[in-house]
Structure 1
């Protein structure tokens, strides 16, 4: 049987690049395809024919990338930019903004809805969506960044996916760390309970590994979970993902 073909959207982003490389390394298990927004991003991840260029806000531009796909991993996200002129020596907090047309409403809601619709139309059999912890709290500080309400819009697209009829896995990581993966014990939770604990961050590489592993186990289908990690050196690094995923109970 041919290995499943998996499309990673946001493949030029920091987490997306790691997922893309992980799937490429497991060419016996997966055929990887990437979707990026610009030719520049395409070059950054190898520039090969298996990377499509399209804008998730324009559904027509992304449809070709979805043809023949078995699974989809959504890693697109609006990115706030820091307003110029911030001087850390003066104290205070930096201010952030979103570029016109690149607000969370357009990227995290409309852009993700477009991807879910395109995947459903193409007969994709499993969608893994990476969201974020904090979505149960409308007054979460992240929503104030650039007046973008980013967690509100992410939550809306998560709900749209859960209602889509396509088997789904929603992963809501805590604070993302640019550190090596595979060295920590991973913890799953629900309803932002982990935000009340000391363990609410996780290396991007571990989130990326969870995305790949989620494709392999039935236990992740139609499940949503929060994901964090214990500090390095505490606990036992997670190797058995089936055991981790068997703890999942929440559908949303």
Structure 2
């Protein structure tokens, strides 16, 4: 029987670079959480967890999500379309890389339909909160990310975010700045709105900091029904963020 004092949390995209960190952090807090992961392949499953807490499913196929989502309290969505570099790119020749998306893995299919399927399945299962990780830059149709592989990735991400807002499920939408593979917990985090942080020098954030904010969002009512941009000050400036209730309390935007 499930321990009702613990919250069962599913991380989708748990095989990705940020998803793996969220999943690991949840497992380390086993006194508070029962962690579940959803990955696309058996290979990813072998890499990140034990047999009973990692599910293999395809977010484009609603039925394959049901076993993972059944009985969870909260869902953290970290699935995202990933552009691939076209073969033949040689950085030594001063070329600019060209990008493409694999068939079936375009942002429309992954970031829109795939996330919509997750939100619908979560709603049907009575999930109490959804944390969705998106990206800064969505207010500008001409953002360079939209041109990668002609995928319009930020357009589809925003569409999924709006769908979540309209779903009625308590939500937290985190639009992360440029993700860095650096140590977390050592910088002052910044929240903003409407891509204002992109106009500053502080437009990046370490992946472990994004992961921490995802989990902290489950703990505070102040994080619910909020959407915000997230970045950090450079290491060594400001004070590392420890008070997440205060961080979420600064946010006034619902979308």
**TM > 0.5 between the two?**
yes
Within a 5 Å distance, the mapping from 1:12-161 to structure 2 comes to 12-161=15-164
Aligned length: 252
State the TM-score, normalizing by the size of structure 1: 0.99
Within a 5 Å distance, the mapping from 1:227-238 to structure 2 comes to 227-238=230-241
Picking from 162, 166, 174, the partner of 1:163 is: 166
- 1:224 maps to 227
4+ runs of 1 displaced by more than 4 Å? none
Q: Distance in 2 between matches of 1:125 and 1:14?
A: 25
Corresponding residue SS for 1:163: helix
Pair 1:196 & 2:199 matched: yes
Q: Distance in 2 between matches of 1:138 and 1:4?
A: 38
- 2:177 maps to 174
State the TM-score, normalizing by the size of structure 2: 0.98
Q: Distance in 1 between matches of 2:92 and 2:38?
A: 40
After superposition, what is the alpha-carbon deviation per residue over 1:98-144, rounded to whole angstroms, capped at 9, x for unaligned? 00000000000000000000000000000000000000011100000
Deviation at 1:226, TM superposition (A): 0.2
- Which segments of 5 or more consecutive residues in structure 2 lack a partner in the other structure? none
CA RMSD of aligned residues (A): 0.7
Deviation at 1:64, TM superposition (A): 1.2
- 1:186 maps to 189
Deviation at 1:46, TM superposition (A): 2.2
Q: Distance in 1 between matches of 2:95 and 2:227?
A: 36
Corresponding residue SS for 1:99: coil
Deviation at 1:47, TM superposition (A): 3.6
Deviation at 1:149, TM superposition (A): 0.3
Deviation at 1:92, TM superposition (A): 2.9
